[in-house]
Structure formats: structure tokens, C-alpha cells
Amino acid sequence: MRGDGSYRALLALPGAAGFFFAANSGRVGVAATGLGLIWLITGSGGSFAVAGLVVGAFAAAEALVGPQVARLIDRWGQTRVLPWMLTVHAATVVATVAAVLAGSPVVVVVLAGAVAGASTPQLGALSTARWAALLGDRRGWLPRAFALESLANAVAFLLGPVLVSVAATTGPAWAGTAGAAVVVVIGGSALALQPRTAPPVATLITSSSTRSPRSSEAAAGHGLRSARFALLVTLTGVLGLHFGAVTLSMTAWATEQGSAAMATGLIGVSSAAGLVGAWAYGLRRWQAPPVVQLCCAAAVMALGCAGAAVVSGLDAHDAPLVARLVILGACIALTSVLVPVIIVQLTVLTEAGLARAVLTQALTWANSASAAGSAAAGALAGVLIDTTGARGGFALLTAVSTFLLLLALTSRRRLS
């Protein structure tokens, strides 16, 4: 590996800082919306069951409708579609808040939440697509740009829930949800007002003067139906399984030790390691092919999960609690620091194998796969933990990371 500039050099490219900070400020609001809805409903006298239904409808609609909206964006351009999305999103969030405060039937609140989720702008995908358009043939810069996106996403999901919780607990119950929507609209509007860095619609429609727009669009769509893209989406979904199980497993282990507060420390270690991993990875240009980096990162991640599974099965007769806590924290840190590397490589491989005409759709499908994997693993990990304790959750993490490694190894030729 060799040095290749810095994040500062990347953000110094014309228009880069503007769209990056606009998109990722809005992404803080996106990360806060789900928790904001929970605070809104429970703080207004509703039950956690209703809150779960609404948040589930919001997330499901976002995952299912998001790729379809991304198709419109690829077809018509970010600056034309995004203002309409933001308008619908703001209106439906207001409608959801009004329905909750008015004590409307649950089905009305669930439907309003679903439409709000369906209209949530995928600002991360839009920002990533802009990086691909801006960097053009400078492919050596793409991993750094995608690492910066991974870092921004991690910050958003750390900062968003904290801000929405403060707003909802120090003010009225609706303050968190409303504040999240305002942040989304401001960030998204700032992004829509920067047409210079948006992927040009002309290049989205046709890549050859001998092709009609319809035939070019069909050729690009074939890329989304290819076995290679299906494999990349599957790998992203498997990584989502990890996201869904890791927090539950850490919390269960800390609870078993009689100190729920330790869960906060372990989650903090995991989050900090992810931030450091994303930041450090983008500081250098790595010469190994993306598939090789993916396999190496998955292998180390599997080792970290296996170590955590072993430690979680020990008790006071095997080692003191402090020793087990330190070793478990080290294993979790080792695992978490590799997650951004895997995300970057999957994004690089996705961008390299598809036409720009469908890039936003592809990135949004990947987000949906990750969300689906996270939801499925959360449910499965909960069952395993209830039956076998925290070690069941960490055993699931080990199985998931091992499967990720095996799938990457057996598919490396197709991915290349």
C-alpha cells in the first residue's frame, strides 16, 4: 500500500464538500426518525406494541419502495425527483404526528408511517452516486470516497438517536420526530440545490449514440438482474445479519453478568472501532484487488466473532469478569473495525460492475438487503438468546461471518 493524499484532498474537489455535508447532515435525520416515532407514540400514551408496528411499517416501506424511487432518480435525475420526495416525506411525517396526537385508529397511524418511510430519501445512495460521477476515471479515489461515506453513516447513526432522544425527552413527545424531519428536509434540499455535482441525466439514459434511450435503459436493467449483482446483494444481506445480532448479543452477555451498564461500554467499543476502521482505511490506497480485501476482512471478522463466542461461554470459574470483559471487548473491536472495509469493497464492486444508469438503484437495493438481514437476524438472535443465552447470539455471529467468508471465497472469480 502507499499513501495517496487525504480526505482533505478528496473534499477539496470542486463541489465535493457541498454535496457531502448536505447529504450527510440530512442522513442524521434519517437515522433518527425510527427512534423518534417510538418516542412520539409512547410519549403520547401509546403502547410499545403500536410503536413497533409503526416503525416496522416505516422500515418495510422504506426498504421495498426505496429502490423504485431510486429508479425514478436514475431516470430523471436527483434535482428533479428529490424536491418531490422531500415534500411528500415532510407532509406524511406531519400527518403521522397529527394522527398520533389526535388518537387516530392504529391502522391510520401505521399507514401514515408507511408512506413516510416510502418517501424517505436515500441520501447516502445519492451522495455515493455523486462521488462516482465526480471522480470519473480516477478509480483509485473511489475506495477513499466510499470509506468517507461509511464513516459519515456511522456518525449519523451515533448522533441521530442521541439528538432525537434529547429533543423528545426535554420537550414535547413529537419534538424528536418533527426535528428529524426538519433535518432531513434541510439536508435533502441543500443537496437538490447543487445540480453541478449531480450525475448528468444524459449519461444516465444513454451511453452510446447508436443506442436509443429505451435500449440503453434495458441493457442497464439487465445488470441489476445479473447473477453477479444478486451475489453482491446477498453478501450485503449477510452483513446485515451481523448488524442485527451483534447489539443484542452484547446486551444479553452484559445482562447475564449482572451489569447492564457493561452493555453500553461494549456497544461504545463496537461503534468507536467502526469509526476508526472507516477513517483509517481511507487514509491509504490499498493495492490488493477489492475481492482479495473483501476475503481478508471477512476472515479476520470471522476470527473475532469466534473469539467472542468462546469468551461468552466462559464463567467466573474459567476467568475473572474483568478479564472476560477485556477479551470480549477486544474481539468485538477486531470484528467491528473490519465492517467498514467490507462495506467499502462491496460498494466498489457494485459500482465497477454496473452502468451508471442504474447505480442509485443498485446502492438502494443493497441498503434494503442490509436492512432485511438486520431485521431477520434480530428476530433469530432473540430466539437463540432466550434459549441458550448470550453465547447463542455470538454463535450466530460466528456462523454469519463464516458464511460471508465462504461465500466471498467461492465467488471471487465471478466478483472479479
**Number of domains, the chain:** 2
pLDDT digits (tens, 9 = 90+) for 296-347: 999 999 999 999 999 998 887 888 899 999 999 999 999 999 999 999 999 9
**Residue 248 to residue 315: CA distance in whole angstroms:** 19
Q: What is the pLDDT of residues 90-146, one digit of tens each?
A: 999 999 999 999 999 999 999 999 999 999 999 999 999 999 999 987 878 999 999
Return the amino acid letter for 119. S
d(CA 68, CA 280): 34
Mention every residue, 6+ apart, whose C-beta is less than 8 A from residue 77.
Answer: 198, 199, 200, 201, 204
pLDDT computed for residue 215 by the predictor: 42
- Do 175 and 44 reside in the same domain of the chain? yes
* CATH for 241: 1.20.1250.20
Say which residue the cell 464463567 belongs to.
315
- pLDDT tens digits for range 48-107: 788 888 988 898 899 899 999 999 999 999 999 999 999 999 999 999 999 999 999 999
Q: Which residue in 124, 165, 204 sits closest to 371, CA to CA?
A: 124
201 and 248: one domain? no
Whether residue 233 is contained in a domain is answered as yes
Q: What is the span of the domain harbouring residue 115?
A: 2-205
Instruction: Indicate if 233 and 342 belong to the same structural domain.
Output: yes
pLDDT of residue 248: 85
Residues 135 and 261 in one domain: no
Residue 203 CB neighbour total at 10 angstroms: 13
Residue at which a domain ends, from 153, 172, 205 = 205
Same domain, 179 and 265: no
> Is the model's pLDDT at 216 over the cut of 70?
no
Residue 276: inside a domain: yes
Q: What angle do CA 122, 123, 129 make, to 5 degrees?
A: 95
Residues 82, 57, single domain; the answer is: yes
Domain shared by 137 and 237, yes or no: no
- The whole-model pTM stands at 0.83
> Kindly report the CA angle at 193 between 187 and 196, in degrees rounded to 5?
120
All residues at 6 or more sequence positions from 389 whose CB lies less than 8 Å from its CB, including other chains: 252, 256, 312
Q: Are residues 167 and 230 in the same domain?
A: no
CA 127, CA 11: separation in Å to the nearest integer?
13
